[in-house]
């Protein structure tokens, strides 16, 4: 099982590293921020530690 960093969208540390390798920077945070802006975040429900 991957070590998840973002439970809402299923991103792992490995995903972030791969994203950085592919783009020269991580675009994942931008994707998360955009999704949260439109109310698509469920941290309080999906993250076992709460959001």
Q: What is the pLDDT of residue 17?
A: 94
Tokens linked to 45: 């429900």
32 and 6 in contact (C-beta within 8 Å)?
Answer: yes
Helices (H) then strands (E): counts for the chain? 3, 2
Q: Is the pLDDT of residue 8 over 80?
A: yes
Separation of alpha carbons 13 and 15, rounded Å: 5
Residue with tokens 């076992």: 48
Using a cut of 0.85, tell me whether the model's pTM lies above it: no
Q: What is the pLDDT of residue 50?
A: 66
Break the chain into its structural domains and give their ranges. 4-46
């Amino acid at each position: 099982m991957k070590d998840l960093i973002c439970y809402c969208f299923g991103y792992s540390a490995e995903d972030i590293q791969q994203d950085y390798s592919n783009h020269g920077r991580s675009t994942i945070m931008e994707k998360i921020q955009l999704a949260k802006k439109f109310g698509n975040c469920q941290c309080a429900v999906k993250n076992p530690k709460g959001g």
